[in-house]
Structure 1
């Protein structure tokens, strides 16, 4: 800014100098020319008087007169008759000179005027002032012309202009110095204001301007400081509100995206990226570039067209796993004072995959429970009806029917017990009744409980437990886990061995149950831990299984934040590996 002001000052001073020089040159030159012209006319009158006196004394010699008075008057003297013929000249041979009748000053003098003319002389190579005066004396009538070179006048004018220019330049230098001091003094507070404004634009609102001046600059600085304080406070409030808003958005379990009337995204949260598998920033992009789902588009467009709340469900295709989402669309209404009614549309996308899965599981669970309860109840009712109709009189038949009723009743009891146990585990967030327990002792207790099931099978139980492995847990819960795993291993193994081992690492307690049984086909492994899922439904039910054992195992492992893995080969056997974090 200071440079621009200085450049402006210098330009103004330069233009002033140029105008002054041109004006001085023009006026000075004109002044000297007028002065010389008047002086020449005066000299001409004097020479005419002298020439008149000489003519009266009969001593008239024009050439002698011209030669004699030319040097005295410092002018060139030319005498011309009324026909324009030169009769005498102080500088040239008048006899060879051209007729001067058509020279402007001569022709006007012939007519009786005193005339002057500045003209370039080709003969002498310079500008001359020609002054012609009419003359009428005894024995001669014509024109007396005086010529004077203007080179001296120009030199005088140039010298004068030099002095004028020198004076102006000295004044200009002084003016520039003063202008520099003034602009510097004026620009210093403006520079401080500029630097402070730059800092504010960069986010620094704490910088203050200290100017003692009481003029407009000081008032400006004071207003700027007040503005800085207010701006800092407003920015703090705005940032706080933005942080709160962003925290609310990021904390939402649903994906949120807001689009304007041109279907361009101006707001979204990170949950949307997770649900729709978006890996880029989508602000400013069209919703059609970001999401490729017809149902979402229909919900959005219908909400905009009808200006109302719309809900629908759709499936988002993905390379990893398809997701079921529920889409809510609602217009974003502008404030009452705004000129427009709506500012766009808000889409809320909720991932209901797990909910749908739970609904399916709940439905399947009810169906399976109904089926599992209905089968033994139907059997019991059928045998009871048979006994009522007379079979009770046959002791052998009645005893066999009663044994079957007892078996089915036990199955019902076990099923209800497993359902209650599974429900209790599912509703627990963590294990409350826990203490340090020796895992080896629990395994030995389970082995003793299951020994009766080995009587009719050629199976050997191999226990491989590291000594003094303790774990903080509910003893009965871990006991139930091991019973279910070993019971399954014994059921599906006709001969060979069931190996149960317990070891520990720095981070986990590792329990493994390995059998040499029939094995499990690979397609069944992902669903092993579902409720009532059986690989061989008929065989499992005949063995007295409820279909809930492995589901209970999985929930117990989940209760302790552990992991369970299954490896199986058909005809070779199956290994269940459980890792419980310490």
Structure 2
């Protein structure tokens, strides 16, 4: 009983340390992220007051206000995910992925993106995880690939191993350097070239993905090779089937 209690206390302590580190990073990046739109709003308000409005100032203020609202909304979602307990169940990973992919069908067709799925014959690969949160992971990774693919191609692969299922999603990129690639998981981080500010949104999507995967203790990573950026996740199979 003492050993079990010690393990639980250690786990809680490590979880608290992780949350404190995440909080410091988010607060630092958030300050920088909100500073620009707030400065623009103030500048354009002063311009209106001084009679300099050429008819576009109000639209700019509305756009920057919307940007701030989106950052706050994503932060609230990020905070909620950090607070929520992981509730693991058994579910079909392939079925969940395809249901997520269908939601992006119109966007994929509009942008004329070629989505290729290797081992598409695989079905009913059951995993042990929080289904709701893995759905968020899939949605964020698919959205990320659609947003940043440079060659209008997305490659997806599932590999059925003895104790785990390896998932990979790749898309074309112009980014060559690999030494900073791990920073892509950080909140608000902008990877040069492909992740420009015009398309980058709030930059919290991959931070949310990493947080969920760490709490599941799932191995995951990102790399750049042959003009492709690749994300991978190792999902734990249902332990009750062994």
Q: Same fold (TM over 0.5)?
A: yes
Task: Label 1:437 to 1:385 Cα distance change in 2 as closer, same or farther (>3 A).
Answer: farther
- Counterpart of 1:579 in structure 2 is 234
Superimposed CA distance per residue, residues 374-409 of structure 1 (whole angstroms, 9 cap, x where no aligned partner): 2223333444554566677x7xx34x842x444434
Match of 2:222 in 1: 566
1:438 paired to 2:92: yes
Distance 1:459 1:376, change over 3 A: same
Q: Distance in 2 between matches of 1:421 and 1:558?
A: 17
For residues 126 and 62 of structure 2, what CA distance do their matches in structure 1 show? 40
The answer to whether 1:374 aligns with 2:30 is no
Cα gap change, 1:532 to 1:463, in 2 (>3 Å): same
* Corresponding residue of 2:205: 549
Q: What residue is the counterpart of 1:449 in the other structure?
A: 103
Work out the number of aligned pairs and report it.
223
- Is the 2:174–2:194 contact (alpha carbons within 8 Å) kept by the matching residues of 1? no
- Matching of residues 234-273 of structure 1 within 5 Å: none
CA distance in 2, matches of 1:440, 1:482: 11
CA 378–437 in structure 1, closer or farther in 2 if over 3 Å, else same:
farther
Partner SS state of residue 512, structure 1 = strand
Aligned twin of 1:417: 73
The structure with the largest alpha-carbon Rg is 1
Equivalent residue, structure 2, for 1:524: 180
Counterparts of 1:61-80 in structure 2, within 5 Å, are: none
The verdict on how the C-alpha distance between 1:360 and 1:463 changes in structure 2, with shifts beyond 3 A counting, is: closer
**Given the alignment, which residue of 466, 484, 498 partners 2:154?**
498
Structure 1 residue 578: Cα displacement:
0.2
**Counterpart contact for 2:221–2:233, Cα < 8 Å:** yes
Alignment of 1:76-225 (within 5 A): none
Asked if 1:515 is matched to 2:171, the reply is: yes
CA distance in 1, matches of 2:51, 2:188: 37
Indicate if the aligned counterparts of 1:477 and 1:556 stay in contact, CA closer than 8 A.
Answer: yes
What residue ranges of structure 2 are gaps of 5+ in the alignment?
10-15, 238-242
Give the 3 Å change call, closer, same or farther, for CA 412–522 of structure 1 in structure 2: same
Q: Is contact 2:156-2:168 (8 Å) kept?
A: yes
Structure 1, residues 24-62: CA drift from partner, whole Å, max 9, x if none?
Answer: xxxxxxxxxxxxxxxxxxxxxxxxxxxxxxxxxxxxxxx
3-state SS of paired residue (1:562): coil
* 8 Å Cα contact 1:501/1:512 also seen in 2: yes
SS in 1 for 2:191: coil
Q: For 1:436 and 1:495, how far apart are their aligned partners in 2?
A: 36
Q: TM-score, normalising length from structure 1?
A: 0.34
Q: Distance in 1 between matches of 2:231 and 2:61?
A: 34
1:547 CA drift (Å): 2.3
1:443·1:479 contact (CA, 8 Å) conserved in 2? yes
**Which of 103, 117, 122 is the equivalent residue of 1:463?**
117
Distance 1:437 1:413, change over 3 A: farther
* Deviation for aligned residue 1:562: 0.6
Counterpart of 2:26?
Answer: 365
